[in-house]
C-alpha cells in the first residue's frame, strides 16, 4: 500500500538507504533492513527526495540475490516506488562501501543535496555539543563530504501514519430473529441479527502507526536489542580510530569471506546466538527465523 504523498519540491537530490542483514524471511531481508527500506520509501513517497541509492552485493554467495537487489525489489513491489527513481549498484560489501559508492554516484549525477538514512546508532553512537560520534559520519568525513542525516526511527515514528477518512452507511438492528419472527434484538445471537438501511451516512476518521510500536520495541532505551546494537556500533567506532585503519582492506576482507548463505562475521557469530538480532517481522510478530529458533541471519560488518 503506497504511503500518502504530498506534492512538493524534493528537498534532497538523492537518499542512501543502508542495508543491514539478510534473513530467511520471504523477502530475503532482515528486520532492520526492512525498516530501513520502509523509511526510505516514506521519504520518497512524501517527496522529500527524488532518488534512492542502494548498493549491496551478494552477501550470501553467488547463488543468492544481492541484498541491494532485494531492497530495490521491496521498494518497487511493496511500496510502489517507480523503477526510474531507484539507482541500484551491487558491488559494496560494507557500510564504507555503501557510502563511498554513494559519493561516486553523487559526483557522476550532479547530486548536491544528499540524505543518509540509517538507524540512529549508526549515525551517532553518542552526541556531544552537537558533534556526532558514529561510524557513518566518520566515513563521510574521510571522503570530505557532509550530508544530512535522518534516522530510521525518527522517520517511521513521525511520518509512517496511515489515515482512514471515509463515510459509512448507518444500519439499524431489527427486533426479529433470522426467520423473521419478532424477538428483541439483544436476545438474538450476533451472527443471526437482521439489519436494515436507514439512509443515513456518518464520517469515519482513524489514524494509526503500528510501525512506531515495533520501532520502540526494537530500539527503545530498555530494549536489549538496542543495547547489543550500541555495543556492536561501539566496537566498530573504536576499530575505526586505530592507527592505520584501512577501510579498503576491510571491504576486501568482507568480499573474500562471504562465499555462501548465512556466513556471518565473527562478532555476529558470537553475539547473535545470545541475542535475537532479527527478532520481529515487520508486522510485529516474532520471526520464526530468529537465532533462538531456526534459520540464520547475516549482518554486514561494519
Q: Parse the chain into domains and list their residue ranges.
A: 14-159+210-299, 162-207
Q: Give the tens place of pLDDT for each residue, 255-299.
A: 666 655 554 445 444 544 444 445 445 555 555 544 444 444 333
Instruction: Give pTM, 2 decimals.
Output: 0.68
List Cα–Cα distances, 39 to 34, 53, 155, 204, in angstroms.
9, 13, 6, 28
**Bridge partner residues of 126 (DSSP):** 133
Q: How far apart, in whole angstroms, are the C-alpha atoms of residue 26 and residue 199? A: 46
Query: Contact at 8 Å (CB) between 152 and 141?
Result: no
User: Which CATH architecture best describes the domain 14-159+210-299?
Assistant: 3-Layer(aba) Sandwich (3.40)
Q: Give the tens place of pLDDT for each residue, 125-155.
A: 555 555 556 688 888 988 888 899 999 999 9
Q: How far apart, in whole angstroms, are the C-alpha atoms of residue 30 and residue 300? A: 11
Q: How far apart, in whole angstroms, are the C-alpha atoms of residue 125 and residue 204? A: 43
Q: How far apart, in whole angstroms, are the C-alpha atoms of residue 126 and residue 134? A: 7
Q: What is the pLDDT of residue 263?
A: 43
Amino acid at each position: 500500500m503506497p504511503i500518502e504523498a504530498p506534492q512538493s519540491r524534493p528537498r534532497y537530490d538523492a537518499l542512501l538507504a543502508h542495508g543491514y542483514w539478510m534473513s530467511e524471511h520471504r523477502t530475503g531481508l532482515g528486520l532492520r533492513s526492512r525498516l530501513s527500506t520502509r523509511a526510505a520509501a516514506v521519504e520518497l513517497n512524501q517527496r522529500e527526495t527524488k532518488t534512492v541509492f542502494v548498493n549491496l552485493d551478494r552477501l550470501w554467495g553467488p547463488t543468492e540475490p544481492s541484498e541491494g537487489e532485494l531492497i530495490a525489489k521491496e521498494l518497487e513491489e511493496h511500496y510502489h516506488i517507480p523503477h526510474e527513481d531507484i539507482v541500484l549498484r551491487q558491488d559494496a560489501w560494507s557500510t564504507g562501501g555503501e557510502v563511498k559508492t554513494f559519493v561516486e554516484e553523487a559526483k557522476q549525477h550532479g547530486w548536491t543535496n544528499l540524505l543518509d538514512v540509517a538507524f540512529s546508532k549508526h549515525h551517532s553512537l553518542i552526541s556531544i555539543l552537537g558533534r556526532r560520534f558514529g561510524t557513518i559520519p566518520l566515513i563521510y568525513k574521510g571522503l570530505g563530504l557532509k550530508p544530512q542525516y535522518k534516522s530510521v526511527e525518527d522517520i517511521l515514528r513521525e511520518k509512517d501514519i496511515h489515515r482512514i477518512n471515509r463515510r459509512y452507511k448507518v444500519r439499524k438492528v431489527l427486533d426479529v430473529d433470522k426467520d423473521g419472527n419478532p424477538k428483541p434484538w439483544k436476545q438474538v445471537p450476533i451472527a443471526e441479527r437482521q439489519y436494515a438501511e436507514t439512509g443515513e451516512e456518518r464520517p469515519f476518521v482513524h489514524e494509526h502507526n503500528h510501525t512506531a510500536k515495533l520501532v520502540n520495541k526494537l530500539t527503545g532505551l530498555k530494549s536489549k536489542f538496542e543495547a547489543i546494537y550500541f555495543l556492536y556500533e561501539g566496537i566498530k567506532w573504536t576499530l575505526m580510530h586505530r592507527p592505520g585503519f584501512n577501510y579498503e582492506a576491510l571491504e576486501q576482507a568482507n568480499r573474500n569471506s562471504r562465499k555462501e548463505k548465512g556466513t556471518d562475521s565473527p562478532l555476529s557469530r558470537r553475539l547473535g546466538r545470545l541475542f535475537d538480532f532479527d527478532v520481529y517481522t515487520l508486522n510485529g510478530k516474532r520471526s520464526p527465523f530468529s537465532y533462538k529458533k531456526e534459520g540464520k541471519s547475516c549482518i554486514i560488518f561494519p
